[in-house]
Amino acid sequence: MQHPILVTAIRAARKAGDLINRTIDRVAELTVTSKAHNDYVTEVDRSAEAAIVEIIRRAYPQHGILAEEGSTTPGKDFEWIIDPLDGTTNFIHGMPQVAVSIAVRHFDRIEHAVVYDPLRNELFSASRGGGAHLNDRRLRIAQRRDLEGALLGTGFPFKDFSYLDAYLATLRAIMPKVAGIRRPGSAALDLAYVAAGRYDGFWEFRLKPWDLAGGVLLVQEAGGVVTDFHGEQDYWHSGNIVAGNMRIHAQLLRIIDEHGGDST
């Protein structure tokens, strides 16, 4: 039986997903504004966030909220971390790689998570100690033992280029060792794909809490390892993240430590 908080998170994610599905074919008509260089927001981001927050506040009015588009309120014990539309640039261009990400943190630990791909109707969910699931199927991380033959996900710098050289150094070092590297444009889905075994591993620099919160628990509950570039749990502050099974994670960590420079 699903935890009531997870049930609420799923309901909120599906509500936001409905809004995304209704507008994906008319993105040219939407209002798009720029928050910063290469950082965009649409009216769908805002309306999806409002729909999520309304459901949460109705069910758990005392809980805190940390949301990408600003619907942030303090809470004592629980905090909902929300990305209403991860992959906004994809969405604006009609690229079908977007997600709704909702995670619930109790004190310092993520306890529940949902990453929902509304275009494929794929709902990734997890509660701590209860495993990770894709729709009704239990997920297990890929068991590949070496980077040779591995398929990895990553994210390119696109807003802050101060760490571009460090990122390219890691990419240059990793690329010859693997079968392929993908950058679809939604970190939440990238981490969900690691949990589902579609990727063998993932790394990215400077993510925000709402980019990674949902995916982190999915990977952990599917049997994987998630750390920052120092092998610690400080990715909340640095935004630097490495995920995979124990062996793939360790191999990626060694390469990033060697080539990532000061940005790690």
String of DSSP letters for 95-108: -S--EEEEEEEETT
Residue 243, strand partner residues: 202, 226
| In a domain? residue 27 | yes
What was the pLDDT predicted at 100? 98
Are 130 and 9 in a shared domain?
yes
Residue 221's contacts (CB-CB under 8 Å, 6 or more residues apart) are 126, 127, 128, 129, 130, 131, 132, 139, 195
The backbone torsions φ and ψ at residue 134, rounded to the nearest 5 degrees and listed phi first, read -115, 110
> For residues 93 and 113, what is the distance between their CA atoms, to the nearest angstrom?
27
What was the pLDDT predicted at 79? 97
| In a domain? residue 87 | yes
Q: Burial letters for 224-256: b for 16+ Cβ neighbours within 10 Å, e otherwise?
A: bbbbbbeeeeebbebbbbbbbbebbbebbbebb
Are 132 and 168 in a shared domain?
no
Are 113 and 173 in a shared domain?
no
Are 198 and 77 in a shared domain?
no
| In a domain? residue 81 | yes
Could you count the other beta carbons within 10 Å of the beta carbon of residue 180?
Answer: 11
Are 99 and 179 in a shared domain?
no
pTM of the model as a whole = 0.94
What was the pLDDT predicted at 179? 98
For residue 101, give the CATH number of its domain: 3.30.540.10
pLDDT in tens, the chain (264 residues): 899 999 999 999 999 999 999 988 887 777 777 765 545 578 888 999 999 999 999 999 999 999 988 878 887 799 999 999 999 999 998 899 999 999 999 998 999 999 999 999 999 999 999 999 999 999 999 999 999 999 999 998 877 778 899 999 999 999 999 999 999 999 999 999 999 999 999 999 999 999 999 999 999 999 999 999 999 999 999 999 999 999 999 999 999 999 875 555
Are 196 and 126 in a shared domain?
no
Q: Which residue, of 138, 161, 186, is where some domain finishes?
A: 138
Are 168 and 127 in a shared domain?
no
Residue 176 belongs to domain spanning? 151-263
Are 123 and 42 in a shared domain?
yes
What was the pLDDT predicted at 33? 76
Report residue 181 CA to chain centroid gap: 17
Could you count the other beta carbons within 10 Å of the beta carbon of residue 262?
Answer: 8
| In a domain? residue 143 | no
The token pair that represents 22 in the structure block: 């209704």
The answer to whether the beta carbons of residues 178 and 148 sit under 8 Å apart is: yes
For residue 239, give the CATH number of its domain: 3.40.190.80
| In a domain? residue 145 | no
Are 24 and 133 in a shared domain?
yes
For the chain, the maximum distance between any two Cα atoms, rounded to a whole number of angstroms, is 51
What was the pLDDT predicted at 181? 98
What was the pLDDT predicted at 38? 47
Are 12 and 100 in a shared domain?
yes
The token pair that represents 56 in the structure block: 């949460």
What was the pLDDT predicted at 35? 62
> For residues 51 and 13, what is the distance between their CA atoms, to the nearest angstrom?
9
Residue 125 per-residue DSSP state: E
| In a domain? residue 146 | no
The answer to whether the beta carbons of residues 80 and 92 sit under 8 Å apart is: no
Are 105 and 231 in a shared domain?
no
Domains identified in the chain, total number: 2
The token pair that represents 15 in the structure block: 């509500």
Q: Which residue, of 87, 108, 138, is where some domain finishes?
A: 138
Q: Which residue, of 69, 104, 138, is where some domain finishes?
A: 138
| In a domain? residue 144 | no
Are 125 and 212 in a shared domain?
no
- Using CA of residue 72, residue 53, residue 189, residue 142, what is the dihedral sign? positive
Distances in whole angstroms, Cα of residue 109 to Cα of each of 3, 230, 234: 16, 19, 12
Residues across the chain? 264
| In a domain? residue 250 | yes
What was the pLDDT predicted at 144? 97
